[in-house]
Amino acid sequence: MTEIYDVTIIGGGPAGLYAAFYAGLRNMKTKIIEFQSELGGKVRLFPEKKIWDIGGQPPITGDAFIKQLIEQGLTFHPTVHVETKVERIVDQLDGTFHIETNKGTHMSRSVIVAVGGGIIQPQKLQVAGVPKEDVQNMHYVVREFEQFRDQVVLISGGGNTAVDWANELHGIAKEIHVVYRGENLSAHEAQVEQVMKHATVHTQTHITQVHANENTNCIENVTIEQAAGEKIISVDHMIVSHGFDLDQTLQYDVSIPLERIDHAIASTATGKTDMPGIFVAGDIAKYEGKVNLLVGCFQDAVNAVNGAKLHIEPTASHVAMVSSHNDRVQKRMAVEARKNEKSLV
């Protein structure tokens, strides 16, 4: 028999992870289900970018922020399923929801939907010669700039992300080529102005083929096509920034009425949806005043968890004790203190 959880959080991004932490504070049996192989949500798309706008947090890279977020989110040991896609949610009409995934069904007394804009995957380069397997020097997300030091880098794409990467690599890479099919780069004007100064920008240009070395499994040359004809560029690395595919196929049974506003789910400012027992948090939530930023995720998560707690336990207090007065935090602090004492002996 599948175990029934108090709350199941769909999506292991910032909203889902903070909800898991807060549900732990509220002593709820908690599960997170995440499609990707790693937690962190779309912050994983900008690991090197500095985030400046989180209250009380000095500027921090996406990567470092995710590490902290995961550590906090797993404080109370929620059950975590990664590489699991939630496909459908069904109201069992007996106080539980069935959460159907590609790997089986989970049961929960309440659900927090924290799926952001859906499952995001970078759009793959589709031209002749791209090996089926992942190639070491072809990147869809830039995780670390140092690997490009003194290297020739070709960036395919002309939007904000492509141009940001080209600018970030200035002074690190030996040579930067930006290849874009449009007439003008479509990034912010100031960034475009900057990139034009230090990179070789090939507009109205298509990549027609990449040439990988079978032994090293690395891309060595890229064929581009311009009005003037074909040209081959030798590269050490290639970065593809063609935007993202979004999978928003998560379904809700007909017994679950949820009002949609574009891709988002209409809710109250406290994360309640039209379906008792189902709450929303983070970018998927839409209400007047909703802030689609990390800070917005945290307040949403607290409200959604409090709603879920009251749904399954109507006499519970409306909010958790502040963390310094919270039983579970106190116990946790006592454990940490004992560990520190032992390590000092």
Ligand X SMILES: Cc1cc2nc3c(=O)[nH]c(=O)nc-3n(C[C@H](O)[C@H](O)[C@H](O)COP(=O)(O)OP(=O)(O)OC[C@H]3O[C@@H](n4cnc5c(N)ncnc54)[C@H](O)[C@@H]3O)c2cc1C
Q: Which residues bind ligand X (CB under 6 A)?
A: 10-16, 33-36, 41-43, 45-46, 51, 53, 85-86, 114-119, 250, 282-283, 292-295, 297
Q: Which is nearer to ligand X, 75 or 292 (CB)?
A: 292
Please report the beta strands in 13-103, taking only residues with DSSP state E, as ranges in sequence order: 30-33, 50-51, 60-61, 79-81, 86-91, 97-101
Q: Which is nearer to ligand X, 161 or 205 (CB)?
A: 161
Nearest distance, CB of residue 291 and ligand X, angstroms: 8
Nearest distance, CB of residue 303 and ligand X, angstroms: 13
Alpha carbon distance 39, 69 (integer Å): 9
**Closest C-alpha among 276, 275, 273 to residue 284:** 273
Question: Would you list which residues are annotated within the binding site for FAD?
Answer: 34, 42, 46, 86, 120, 283, 324
Retrieve residue 43's tokens.
């912050």
The answer to whether residues 124 and 207 touch, using CB atoms and an 8 Å cutoff, is: no
Contacts of 118 (CB under 8 A, 6+ apart): 246, 247, 248, 249, 250, 263
Residue with tokens 């379906």: 275
Q: Which is nearer to ligand X, 192 or 210 (CB)?
A: 192
Q: Which is nearer to ligand X, 130 or 240 (CB)?
A: 240
Nearest distance, CB of residue 345 and ligand X, angstroms: 42
Q: Which residues of 135-155 are buried (b: 16+ CB within 10 A; e: fewer)?
A: bebbbbebeeeebbeebbbbb
Nearest distance, CB of residue 163 and ligand X, angstroms: 13
Nearest distance, CB of residue 271 and ligand X, angstroms: 12
Q: Which is nearer to ligand X, 37 or 215 (CB)?
A: 37
Question: Would you list which residues are annotated within the binding site?
Answer: 34, 42, 46, 86, 120, 283, 324
Residue type, 322: V
